């Protein structure tokens, strides 16, 4: 049985993950509209990953006999006024999500909920990777994005990304 406070934090995280997917679809659509299909592909895959994260949290709640509450997903309010904006906002968002995961982990630790802490270990690692990837995109864009040939090559690199489902065992 999950502690009610921990369960509520996880329930809230479900919606945060769905918002993340929605945000990344927003970024993906922007890049497709700008003619950068590779960037669009990269964020479309990010959206798929975030949806899967939400589903993992849902499954964890269900496996622990907790009700899942789905809330409305907010519309992203970020103004995409340059090709770099989604990259910067993506990093900020991943840092925000890391804070959310850390808060759930801290609450689980306080309650000595070791099962939830073990479940969250995967997400802690995943957030480290997400922040590294987001920062890497910004760095590559800063190095190559100002040159049309460099931007073309970076776009081509991002177009090659394929979706891989998470391998977390519940």
Instruction: Say if 169 falls within a structural domain.
Output: no
> From the centroid of its chain, how far is CA 136?
15
Distances (CA, A) of 168 to 24, 59, 72, 142, 165: 22, 11, 26, 34, 9
Split into its structural domains, the chain has a count of 1
Instruction: Say if 82 falls within a structural domain.
Output: yes
Instruction: Say if 58 falls within a structural domain.
Output: yes
Instruction: Say if 11 falls within a structural domain.
Output: yes
Task: Name the residue among 39, 13, 14 with its Cα closest to residue 26.
Answer: 39
Query: In the structure encoding, which two tokens stand for residue 74, read together?
Result: 């907010």
What mean pLDDT do residues 33-41 have? 98
Expressed as residue numbers, the domain containing 137 is 4-159
- 166 pLDDT band, cuts 50/70/90, is confident
- Identify the pLDDT of residue 168: 63
- 169 pLDDT band, cuts 50/70/90, is low
Residue 170 pLDDT > 90, yes or no? no
Give the integer Cα–Cα distance in Å for 39 and 86.
10
Instruction: Say if 70 falls within a structural domain.
Output: yes
What mean pLDDT do residues 16-37 have? 98
Give the integer Cα–Cα distance in Å for 153 and 148.
9
- Cα-flanking dihedrals φ and ψ of residue 38, to 5°? -65, -45
Residue 92 pLDDT > 80, yes or no? yes
The pLDDT tens digits for 49-87 are: 999 999 999 999 999 999 999 999 999 999 999 999 999
Instruction: Say if 21 falls within a structural domain.
Output: yes
What mean pLDDT do residues 29-35 have? 98
The pLDDT tens digits for 96-146 are: 999 999 999 999 999 999 999 999 999 999 999 999 999 999 999 999 988
Give the integer Cα–Cα distance in Å for 47 and 25.
6
Burial class of residue 113 in the structure, from the number of CB atoms within 10 Å of its CB (0-12 exposed, 13-18 middle, 19+ buried): buried
Give the integer Cα–Cα distance in Å for 49 and 34.
23
- Identify the pLDDT of residue 89: 98
CATH number at residue 12: 1.20.1260.10
Instruction: Say if 42 falls within a structural domain.
Output: yes
Task: Name the residue among 167, 169, 170, 165 with its Cα closest to residue 52.
Answer: 165
Query: In the structure encoding, which two tokens stand for residue 103, read together?
Result: 């808060």
Instruction: Say if 168 falls within a structural domain.
Output: no
- When the pLDDT of each residue in the chain is averaged and rounded to a whole number, the result is 96
């Amino acid at each position: 049985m999950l502690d009610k406070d921990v369960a509520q934090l996880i329930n809230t995280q479900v919606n945060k993950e769905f918002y993340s997917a929605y945000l990344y679809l927003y970024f993906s659509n922007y890049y497709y509209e700008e003619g950068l299909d590779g960037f669009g592909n990269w964020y479309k895959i990010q959206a798929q990953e975030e949806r899967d994260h939400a589903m993992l949290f849902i499954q964890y709640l269900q496996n622990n006999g907790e009700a899942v509450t789905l809330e409305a997903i907010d519309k992203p309010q970020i103004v995409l006024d340059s090709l770099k904006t989604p990259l910067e906002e993506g990093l900020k968002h991943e840092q925000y999500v890391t804070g959310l995961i850390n808060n759930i982990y801290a609450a689980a630790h306080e309650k000595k909920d070791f099962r939830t802490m073990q479940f969250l270990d995967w997400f802690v690692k995943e957030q480290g990777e997400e922040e590294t990837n987001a920062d890497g995109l910004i760095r590559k864009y800063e190095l190559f994005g100002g040159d049309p040939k460099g931007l073309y090559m970076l776009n081509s690199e991002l177009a090659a990304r394929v979706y891989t489902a998470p391998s977390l065992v519940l």
